[in-house]
Every structure is written in structure tokens, then in C-alpha cells.
Structure 1
Amino acid sequence: MKLSNIVENLSLEVKTGENNLQNDVTGAYISDLLSDVMANGKEGNVWITLQTHLNIVAVSGLKNLAGIIIVNNRPVQEDVLQKAESEKVTIMSTPLPAFEIAGKLYQLLNG
């Protein structure tokens, strides 16, 4: 499924990476520990997290993730957004908690 379909169906706000919405999504990984995502996230996954610091961009690039969904409408600092744009990392946000957005994403991907 394309990232654009997920953005549309889950009403996500795209913060960075508008040009990457045709990326294929292969699944998702939910974690707030960077080392856990580095060890277990898979290429093409969407990462669901509440983390908003600069290191999320590096981890996403390292694992070649399809994008990052920030939960609970947590604000993302401008320096993080700028780094994400320069690294071609898609950051999206949702007002939903991780549990709810993960459930909706699971239903969408496994319809």
C-alpha cells in the first residue's frame, strides 16, 4: 500500500516528505526506544512513536522506513522538521494515541 493511501485513510497530517507519499508501506513498528527500532524495524515499515527529537530522523534513514507517525499531536521542533526534509524522511502526525492509530493501520493494511 502507498503511504498516500495511509495518510488519506487515517487523516494524518503530513509535516515533511510530501514528495515521498508514493513510498510502499510493508508494515509498521511501534516503539519509543530508538535501539528497539534499530534492531527490529524493517525497511518499508511505518514507525509509530511519541518521540520527536532529532535522532528519529537518523533512525528512519538508517532503517529506510516508509515514514514516521507521531502520536498524541506531539509538537515537532523546527530543526527536526528541517533535518527530515533534507534527509527525505516523511513525518506525519495524528491526535490519536499509539494504540488507536496502530489498530486502524493494522485494519487498513490487512483489510
Structure 2
Amino acid sequence: MKQSRRAEEERMKLRKIVEDLSLKPLNEEETAQGDSTMATGFAGDREVTGCYIGDLLSNVMSHAEEGDLWLTVQTNQNVVAIAQLLNLSGIVFLEGHLPQPETITRANQEKIFLFGTNDSAYEVAVCLSKLGLEGKP
């Protein structure tokens, strides 16, 4: 029982990644008071089990795994459909690329978390590795 509790504590949580990498949440809506809130309710306790880097959607569909955090420059609505289908932990848009407005709307509907960064895939992957997120064999 101690081992399973320890394993639970060691699992990487989405909130830690977002905070440590200073990722910008993109599912935000502005309230009447001018505050930003996550439109879908930020599930920072969502577990991230791996990372997939790719822009060719067919490759993502065949190689990404449930719980992966997807790093991409693709910004169209299809990324949300794939993330939902594979039950990915979220999508990080790289190098300053921002999703199209309809992509954000669809992500809010499907409760897919979107984040942005100006960093490259390499820079983000190195940071994830330093945080202890292991690659797949």
C-alpha cells in the first residue's frame, strides 16, 4: 500500500508543468469584472504520463498515448478532436503559435486544455525531462 501511495505522489500533474514552464492558459474567458478564468475549469490535478511532439496529425493519432501532453504548432480544430479521441492531458502550442478562435471554442466544449509558449519543442521537452517526466521506451 505504501508503494501505490508513493507512486501516486510521484505522478506528474498538469498544474506543476504549467507553473514550472510558465505556460499561458489559452482557454481563458474574461469575466464582467475583467478577470480571466478558465472557461472549462482548470483541472490542474490531471495526470501527465508522457509527452508527444508532432505536427503531422496522422502520426499523432498513431503514436501519442492517453495522458500525453501534446506539443505542436498545429492550430486548427482537428487538434482538439485528436486530443479528445486519445484522452490527452492537454495541448501546448509552441513558438508563439496561437490556436484559431474556433479551436479554443471547441476545446472549451470538449474540456481540452490549451496552453501557449514562445519556446521551441526542444526547449519544452528538455524542461519536461528536468521535471522528471520520462520518455517512452
1:49 to partner: Cα distance: 0.5
Structure whose CA Rg is larger: 2
Partners of 2:49 and 2:133 within 8 A in 1: no
Deviations 1:26-52 (A, max 9, x none): 010101111111101010000000111
Deviations 1:43-98 (A, max 9, x none): 00000001111100000001000000100111221111010000000000101011
Q: 1:99, 1:72 → 2: CA distance?
A: 11
Q: 2:52, 2:87 → 1: CA distance?
A: 13
Q: How many aligned positions are there?
A: 111
Amino acid corresponding to residue 5 of structure 1 in structure 2: K
Bigger RCO (CA 8 Å, 6+ sep):
1
Percent identity for Structure 1 against Structure 2: 40
Amino acid corresponding to residue 14 of structure 1 in structure 2: P
Task: Say if 2:94 is the partner of 1:71.
Answer: yes
Q: TM-score, normalised by structure 1?
A: 0.94
Q: TM-score, normalised by structure 2?
A: 0.77
